[in-house]
Amino acid sequence: MEALQTEESMVRFLNEALISCEKCHLCNTVCPVCDPRVTQGPYGINRSIYYGLKWNQFTEKLRDLIYSCTTCGKCEIKCKGVSRALPLVEIIEKARELLLVEKMLGPMPEQTNVLKNMHVRGNPWGNAPHERTDWARGLDIPFATTNHPVDVLYFVGCASSYDPQAQKIAKNLSKLLKQAGVNFGILEKELCSGHEARRMGETGLFQFLSEANLELFEQAGIHHIVTGDPHSFYSFSNEYPFGEKGPKVQHYTQFLNEIIDKGQLKLICDVDKKVTYHDPCYLGRRSEIYDEPRKLIQSIPGVKPVEMKNCKEDSNCCGMGGGRMWMEPPKTLVSSQSIANSRVLQALDTGAEILLTACPFCNITLNDAVKALEKEGDIKVMDITELIAVAL
Amino acid sequence: MSSDLEQLAQDLKNIVGEEYVFTDVFERIAYADTSLPYDVEKTDLPDVVVHPADAQEISKILKYANANNVPITTYGSGTSLIFGTKPKHKGISLSTERLKNFEIREDHQWFECGAGVKAGYAIEALGKLGYFLPIQTQAGSSIGGAVSVNTIGHLTDNAFGRPVNNVLALEVVLPTGEIIQTGSECLRRSAGWDLARIFIGSEGILGIITKVRMVLYPTPQMVDAVGFFKSTEEIGRVIGLMYEKKLPLPMDGEFVGEKACKVGYEAYGLDFPEGALAVTRSMGWTKEEALRNANLLVDLFKSAGAIDAFILEDEAIKKQVWGVRENAMRWGQEKGLKGYLAIEVNPALPLLPDAMNELVHITEGRNDLIGDTEAYVYGHVGSDSLHCLFAFPYDWSTEKMKQVVDEIWNLEKELQTKYRGVGGDWGWLPHRVPFYREKYGEVSYGIIKKMKQLFDPNDILNRGNVEGEV
């Protein structure tokens, strides 16, 4: 397990990373939270961190700026391409850790309960742990245990376990796995992956949750994890200390392609729809999985995929990553709603009837944006699993 | 915050509204920090940052500032490489970021935009209708800022001209608060007096440009070509031949020196010929014309001894070639050097090869701090603008950093004088005042100071820039 950092090591990392900023502002040109003030984007946030450290200025204004970032990583790609390749997301996360752990300033007030819920109830919403698998009632989905070993663990994630909109992902994915004859199961006592705790700077809680999940995986003899949550997928793939003998981890877009290629899952019904795909930040830019979702969509008979103006590496964020799901930034910063709205408007520009995605956060957020824009009659937000289920 | 500053903030809130006035230290830092390799000091910060919505609000702010002797520093997007946006006398930092109205009038064949519109936005919006923005500065730069500097970024001067050639009309708030309009709605520009020409390129010392009307250009067809040469100096000679042979100049062109190419090739794992490269973007009103123009350059490159030269048809290779140039800001990092400062040198055409050669060897045999830097040469093909990026360690003391910055600026002054250029696409003021005085003399400099005094009797706007305060 990665050692928790000291204040000294965090400050050293931040200083060394930030000192080489060229101040070209190109990061701001792609940032979803930068509009219109230069302070709002990665340039302003990073300058604030740098001088905050230098002048020992730690205030709520600084906290508000640092926590306004969605951690979508678009600025990092820009910086790598045309400037000095600063690790911009890591800088934000480390600054949050510093504020939360050492300065007692983080997280945002609304996020405090979220972290407490993760710790006490194992999910950010504070739902009862025993209700976690309620979505599966009547679906005959086994729990993975040593007495009932499974080939594949379906790690559901908190949103798909509890949120009514996102529960459709869990139900549809389970239906597809069953249809394909996959020997899979879920964990009765699955816990939050801790991904969002880490994004909010609560690295200790992330460690606690990851250790607890590791124990559950070990007890159930898990060798292969498939998840529908790109956030958990990212943490499992990059932040969990699985080691060399750890389980194989896949997002469902990877796994479903494999079983379709093997002929285990057959899609036979025509779905005569024009669709566009929104790359979730933690599946796309952060995990570089761009082709598998598109291949999966193309395997649905009759579907006509079109791309939005910003797609793949250049995709726009839905606005809810990096802990923003549970906070609304101050009035002077960009609202989450406006970020999601602009993404839906891009989807509408394509003329697509269905806006597909592969992340419960994006699904919830983009659905809300469609309603806010009163465009329910023009476009429908669906997870890829939902459309595949129609094609069975 | 002192009661005076509280009053200042409150008075500004009464003009623009509470949510557009910022006194928080982090807001003030963002509007003061510059691309200099050393940090800003607390004394460099403005007292307050204000975001007015339009010319009327700006007018009220300027009248208030005159009445209360509060200096105002204007802020477009902060992408200037010459840090004119850093307040020299605290006061108000006035941002034009909210001036974002944008209208394309195809019936009139012009577009009009607020000063705060970003180049990236304008390029995209115009592009959707088949038009081209004749200002190719970086995506985050503001149109108001570019016009106030009269810059076109990477474009060749004689492809579309400069803003001074393409602006049809301006809305300007004078330092004393009056709002004036220049120009007309007609495409025929004034042959005689046109006050727009005074404000364009004045770098914000005579007024705040709030709205710009510019002529529409249809997007040309473009074809890119590349030439690989043994040395930067050879590219200098080829550029001279390009003019001598009356070839159609590229609308955009770049060259990258030997050392910078090596870093770029290694960074991207490219198997390009060792040496320097020149990449060009030829234009035409048909694809055939653009291709023909590009082929003429390829033929020139080959006849002038290029190791290889070809049209960039393959999108992946094209991206790699331009990527070598775009990698500029990371030069030096391969040697662990994170500090940097770049200069601009604009040689007269016959002196181009010599200037290029001198820049390539600029650090050799020097006993000053420049001798301890790594220098990377790059620049433009067609617009004859050379740059040299000096990279040095970031752990140098602030004092040492300031010393190397002074040495580099002094070198820039010497080279501009020696090679008989002026340049200024990065902005003139304030650090180039010594060069201006030396090149044009005290009478010319005095005229600029008198103009400043005429327009801004209380020295409210961008105070200290004309005096060369850095």
**Which phi-psi region, left, alpha or beta, contains residue A223 (left: φ > 0; alpha: ψ -120 to 50)?**
alpha
Q: Do B260 and B283 reside in the same domain of the chain?
A: yes
Cis peptide before B430 (omega within 30 of 0): yes
Q: What is the model's pLDDT at position B164?
A: 95
pLDDT of residue A243: 83
Contact A81, B326 (CB under 8 A): yes
Within this chain, do residues B116 and B183 fall inside the same structural domain, yes or no? Answer: yes
Cβ contacts of residue B452 below 8 Å, gap of 6+? B205, B206, B459, B466
Strands B276-284 and B217-218: unpaired
Kindly state whether residues B203 and B140 are assigned to the same domain.
Answer: yes
What chain A residue is nearest to B332 in terms of C-alpha separation? A84
* Residue A313, helix vs strand vs coil: helix
* Residue pairs spanning A and B at CB distance below 8 A: 101
Of A37, A47, A84, the CB nearest to B333: A84
Q: Quick one: B83 and B45 in the same domain?
A: yes
Q: Which of B323, B299, B321 is nearest to B310 (CA)?
A: B299
Phi and psi at A149, nearest 5°, equal -65, 145
Residue A166 near chain B (CB below 8 Å):
no
Among B166, B192, B218, give the residue marking a domain's end: B218
Query: Letter for the amino acid at B207?
Result: G
DSSP class of A186: B
Q: In this structure, are B107 and B79 located in the same domain?
A: no
Same-domain pairing of B191 and B123: yes
Q: Under 8 Å CB-to-CB from B327, ≥6 apart: which residues?
A: A82, B260, B263, B264, B267, B268
For chain B (470 residues), the mean pLDDT of every run of 10, in chain order, is 89 97 96 90 96 98 98 90 81 97 98 97 97 94 95 90 96 98 94 94 95 98 98 94 95 95 90 96 97 98 97 95 88 85 93 95 96 96 90 92 95 96 81 92 97 98 93
Domain tally for chain B?
Answer: 4
A residues 32-61 lying closer than 8 A (beta carbon) to B? 36-39, 43-44, 47-48, 51-52, 54-55, 57, 59, 61
A82 touching chain B per CB within 8 A: yes
Domain stops at, among B182, B202, B218: B218
What is the model's pLDDT at position B330? 83
Answer yes or no: is B470 within a domain. Answer: no
Which chain B residue is nearest to residue A24, measuring alpha carbons? B79
Q: Is residue B18 part of a domain?
A: yes
User: Does the beta-carbon distance from B30 to A38 stay under 8 Å?
Assistant: yes
Q: What is the pLDDT of residue A1?
A: 58
Out of B27, B39, B116, the one facing A39 most closely (by C-beta) is B27
Angle between helices A164-179 and A360-372 (to 10 degrees): 130
Beta strands in B58-190 (DSSP E): 72-75, 92-95, 102-105, 110-114, 131-132, 167-173, 179-181
Can you give the pLDDT of all 392 residues of chain A as single tens digits?
A: 566 688 999 999 999 999 889 888 999 999 999 888 889 999 999 999 999 999 999 999 999 999 999 999 999 999 988 888 999 999 999 999 999 999 999 999 999 999 999 999 999 999 999 999 999 999 999 999 999 999 999 999 999 999 999 999 999 999 999 999 999 999 999 999 999 999 999 999 999 999 999 999 999 999 999 999 999 999 999 999 998 889 999 999 999 999 999 999 999 999 999 999 999 999 999 999 999 999 999 999 999 999 999 999 999 999 999 999 999 888 888 888 999 999 999 999 999 999 999 999 999 999 999 999 999 999 999 999 999 999 99
Give the single-character DSSP code of A327. Answer: -
Query: Residue B434 falls within a domain, yes or no?
Result: no
**What is the pTM assigned to this prediction?**
0.94
> Has residue B442 been placed in a domain?
no
Do B78 and B65 share a structural domain?
A: yes
Q: Which residue in the set B27, B29, B100 is minimally distant from A36, CB to CB?
A: B100
The verdict on B117 and B86 lying in the same domain is: no
Across B90-124, b (16+ Cβ under 10 Å) vs e yields bbbbbbbbbbbeeebeeebebbbbbbbbbbbbbbe
Kindly report the CATH number assigned to the domain that includes residue B127. Answer: 3.30.465.10
Out of A20, A36, A37, the one facing B338 most closely (by C-beta) is: A20
Phi and psi at residue B248, to the nearest 5°: -65, 120
Contacts of A22 in chain B (CB under 8 A): 35, 329, 340
Q: Quick check: is B430 in a domain? A: no
Gap between the terminal Cα atoms of chain B: 26
Within this chain, do residues B196 and B120 fall inside the same structural domain, yes or no?
A: yes
B14 with B63, same domain?
Answer: yes
Distances (CA, A) of B59 to B56, B97, B421: 5, 16, 37
Return the CATH number at B398.
3.30.70
Which residues on neighbouring strands pair with residue B343, listed in sequence order?
B388
Asked if residue B445 belongs to a domain, the reply is no
Give Cβ neighbours of residue A214 (< 8 Å, ≥ 6 apart).
A240, A241, A242
Ordered domains of chain A (ranges, CATH): 7-106 (no CATH), 110-261 (3.40.50), 274-390 (3.40.50)
Indicate whether B469 belongs to any domain: no
In the DSSP assignment, the letter for residue A4 is P
pLDDT at B428: 65
Closest by CA to A191, choosing from A219, A226, A220, A155, is A155
| Residue B123 is assigned to a structural domain of this protein | yes
Contact A29 B394 (CB under 8 A): no
Domain boundary among B218, B243, B266: B218
CB contact under 8 A, A26 and B138: yes
Computed over its alpha carbons, how large is the radius of gyration of chain A?
Answer: 21
| Yes or no, beta carbons of B333 and A331 under 8 Å apart | no
Residues B50 and B63 reside in one and the same domain = yes
Q: Do B340 and A54 touch (CB under 8 A)?
A: no
Which of A29, A39, A54 is nearest residue B140 as measured by Cβ atoms? A29
Q: Residue B228: give its domain's CATH number.
A: 3.30.70.2190
Q: Which residues of A touch B22 (CB under 8 A)?
A: 39, 332
| C-alpha to C-alpha distance for B276 and A320, rounded to whole angstroms | 46
Residues B128, B157, single domain; the answer is yes
Whole-angstrom CA distances from A333 to A64, A261, A340, B74 are 9, 46, 15, 22
Taking only Cα atoms into account, the Rg of chain B, rounded to an integer number of angstroms, comes to: 23
**B136 forms bridges with which residues in the sheet?**
B153
Q: Contacts of residue B98 in chain A, CB cutoff 8 Å?
A: 36
Nearest by CB to A47, from B30, B97, B329: name it: B30
Picking from B24, B124, B322 by the largest number of A CB atoms within 10 A of its own CB, the best residue to mutate is B24
Q: B53: domain range?
A: 3-95
Query: Rounded to whole angstroms, how far apart are CA atoms A199 and A72?
Result: 11
Tokens encoding A252 = 């469902």
